Structure 1
């Protein structure tokens, strides 16, 4: 592990933008042009995506193109990807994307980056684990993390971005692989499945221990958080990242060090912008609110009474925003701000926040003793729209689970006792 001193120093945005400009002096103008173009492509993409004709291939092309636009200055690659995205709308049947690729064993047919392939595959492995069924093809794409040595080398290569030299911000891919590895190593169902059915990944006890040590050594001792590092003009900077920290805490089920620092940092970052803080464009966001609420749940035993009161007030504000800003009265979660790749994502994180706050289940309300109950039929309204989305999407499957019912059980979701409106 690299032992260079790392400094908080400048704001991350300043370093990222200035170093991208060092790589390409027209970076900001060019990047914005591509992001605007992708925003225009996203609207017809969502209109065409129906349960009867799901554009799963188009979605992969879109996610990959958006990643190239946000995290690289590799415009030639992005041009080719946008062309592929536009052509993909003409494909009448894209259902093949829900199957395993015979080429490399992943479910990321149209991804070229390892972290995208790994993320697309993890959800399918959960399904195979539930069915106790082996993959049809070898998962050869796992070679970068196939054993302990390769895994550690890969993580070290991803941890520090040198944007001025490479034109690439590695934050998203580093965080994505850490999140997937945390699930593989720390979730018993997935860990046992991989050990039994995925010989391409040598998931020994030493492998798991080495990954756990990597995480412990990567934690910022000043803040308790995890995040990406950047090398700029010969100086190494480290930054706190809400998403990194959430995934590590969540998949380790709170079994981490430095809770006092994590609590202080999380509360302090309430008015800061993501990825350091909770907000997106100065507003709440259900994805970040879900992350913060789950961090608070694990942190609750380590909080003082004053901190618990502060956290509870924040959860109440986030819940109110979820119900009255991100969702319309009919139970439809909007996808307006471009933060989400799809409506399916917007629904998942809206439902996940409601579940984490105990909105539908008072037994989960770790943060309050109030006995408020949902508005009548709200769960059925949400389920009604969820049933109209792409049921092959992993986020929809997870959303049904968090909603506490299934598409075939929409009506029984309703609890006749829940007749009072939620407390504002």
Structure 2
């Protein structure tokens, strides 16, 4: 995990000596079902229920030792993919969340944010947010996820901290319009917690903290840091430290580096370029040249290694067909490939961008999938210069 991360594997084994054998079996099964669902969606057969269940199962297998829950959800997903089980779909649950098939509260929150990004107006009030709607409740929830004691609990809180902490930030700060009436003190409460408690002064990054045999370990997490910076529109401190850290982790594995199993990823490249954009005014000439070189390599990866001739993309580490379009499209938009005004790092022109945007958009329409990820990708493409 290098200097920026922490390996929780030995802690899970201390919690349960049989952990590795049991969890690897479940991870293999999740991978099989992910491929099956991807193939199903590639044929235009959308399954929101199966997708939500599988996403949560993936989290359970990577961040918990809740074997009973994992087995239950694997069986449910298998039934749905193979035409068994209840396939009826509802948009919101009784408490108003857009994650009716999720059990974990933070996934209900994240699914709701995915809908609100596309300016969907909820038909039901978002009562599930009552859980955090006082300063005391909000701080209790955030702090409960900040520090993980994996050896004692069999739980790694990193993923919930990332999604819930940053989703609540954008909801409470108001960048997402929810129609929910938050306690008037929550905006200051969460902002103070993020910048005064969560951010590491040394690296400038945000990440999970772990109780270890030698003390408390604070990690520098690329995804957490991207989300905080993005949702606060770059209005955070310590940008010189952030720039140094993001460049230093270039050859390391995500979430404490840029790589996914030793390779580039459109998803992670989007996060990195967003941090480059916000950090550009704080970079010296050498750092800017490093960033330019990295962006060119990322664009080559996206356009030459993951883009297919029909306008679709390789699956990479994406969990759905929608994500396989959404992340490369958002990455290309972020580097200014589709929009001249976004080219913070270069004066180059990309004459092939508009024709490519049309080709990808046509391919999206041909899939007849209308999930939130596809809608986001299509919106970005249709706004491209010269579209």
Query: Are 2:12 and 1:20 aligned?
Result: yes
Shift of 1:137: 2.9
* Residue from 317, 330, 335 that aligns with 2:310: 330
8 Å contact 1:389–1:396 — kept in the other structure?
A: no
8 Å contact 2:44–2:369 — kept in the other structure?
A: no
Secondary structure class of the residue paired with 1:380: helix
Shift of 1:116: 0.4
Match of 1:227 in 2: 207
1:176-203 CA-partner distances (Å, limit 9, x unpaired): 0112112113344x2xx44xx324xx24
Secondary structure class of the residue paired with 2:189: helix
Query: Are 2:268 and 1:288 aligned?
Result: yes
2: CA distance, partners of 1:388 / 1:245: 36
2: CA distance, partners of 1:10 / 1:266: 12
Query: Are 2:298 and 1:305 aligned?
Result: no
1: CA distance, partners of 2:136 / 2:273: 35
Match of 1:270 in 2: 250
* Residue from 354, 362, 365 that aligns with 2:340: 362
Query: Are 2:362 and 1:384 aligned?
Result: yes
2: CA distance, partners of 1:139 / 1:415: 39
TM-score calculated relative to the size of structure 1:
0.85
The change in CA–CA distance for 1:375 and 1:357 in structure 2 (over 3 A counts) is closer
RMSD: 2.3
8 Å contact 1:230–1:237 — kept in the other structure?
A: yes
Q: Give ranges in structure 2 of 5+ residues lacking alignment.
A: none
1: CA distance, partners of 2:216 / 2:17: 22
Tell me the number of residue pairs that the alignment of Structure 1 and Structure 2 aligns.
385
1:284-329 CA-partner distances (Å, limit 9, x unpaired): 1011101111111111111112211111111111111111112123
- Greater Cα offset, 321-330 or 62-71: 321-330
Shift of 1:91: 5.4
Match of 1:114 in 2: 105
1:8-61 CA-partner distances (Å, limit 9, x unpaired): 9977453x0010001111212221111111111222222223686421101111
| 1:342-357 matches, cutoff 5 A | 342-357=320-335
* Residue from 211, 215, 221 that aligns with 1:241: 221
Shift of 1:331: 2.2
* Residue from 144, 153, 170 that aligns with 2:157: 170
Match of 1:184 in 2: 171
Match of 2:52 in 1: 60
8 Å contact 2:266–2:331 — kept in the other structure?
A: yes
1: CA distance, partners of 2:364 / 2:105: 30
1:196-221 CA-partner distances (Å, limit 9, x unpaired): x324xx242x2101111101121111
Q: Give ranges in structure 1 of 5+ residues lacking alignment.
A: 1-7, 406-412, 417-424
The change in CA–CA distance for 1:175 and 1:79 in structure 2 (over 3 A counts) is same
Match of 1:210 in 2: 189
8 Å contact 1:334–1:343 — kept in the other structure?
A: no
2: CA distance, partners of 1:375 / 1:153: 47
* Residue from 41, 46, 53 that aligns with 2:33: 41
1:403-424 CA-partner distances (Å, limit 9, x unpaired): 234xxxxxxx7849xxxxxxxx
Match of 1:148 in 2: 135
Shift of 1:83: 1.0
Match of 2:22 in 1: 30
